[in-house]
Amino acid sequence: MPDLLSSDPSTSSTALDSEEAETRYFLPELGAWAVLTIDPVASLSVGAREVPEAVEACKRMVNKPYVALVDHNHALYLPWEPYNSYSLRFLQQGDPYSVREEFIEPYMSVPVLPVTKETHISGRPPLQSSKALPWSDCFLSISADSVVRSPSVWGSGPALWKIDRAERRRIRESMRDDIVDARNKRNAAMAAEEELEVGAVDPSTVPLTPPAIADGTATEAEVPSLHYPTRSDTGGQPSVYASSRDSESYYDESDSDGEAPSEDERGGAHSEDKEPLDLVEHFFFNRLHEKAMTTVRFTHDLSTVTELNDARDYYKEVEAIKRY
Distance, CA of 274 to CA of 282 (rounded, Å): 9
Q: Write down the pLDDT at residue 13.
A: 44
For β-strands 92-93 and 65-73, DSSP reports them as: unpaired
Pairing status of strand 92-93 against strand 109-112: unpaired
| pLDDT tens readout for residues 19-73 | 445 678 889 999 999 999 999 999 998 889 899 999 999 999 999 999 999 998 8
What does the mean pLDDT of the chain come to? 75
Q: What pTM, to 2 d.p., does this model score?
A: 0.67
Cα gap 10→34, rounded to integer Å: 38
Model confidence over 74-130: pLDDT tens digits?
888 888 889 999 999 999 999 999 998 899 999 999 999 999 988 999 999 999 999
Confidence class for position 209, pLDDT limits 50, 70, 90: low
Q: How far apart are CA 120 and CA 99, in angstroms?
A: 18
- Has residue 1 got a pLDDT over 70? no
Burial zone of 239 (CB within 10 Å; 0-12 exposed, 13-18 middle, 19+ buried):
middle
**What single letter denotes the amino acid at residue 299?**
T
pLDDT 10s digits, 173-204: 999 999 999 999 999 999 888 888 766 555 55
What is the pLDDT averaged over residues 268-288? 46
Phi, psi for 150 (deg, rounded to 5): -145, 160
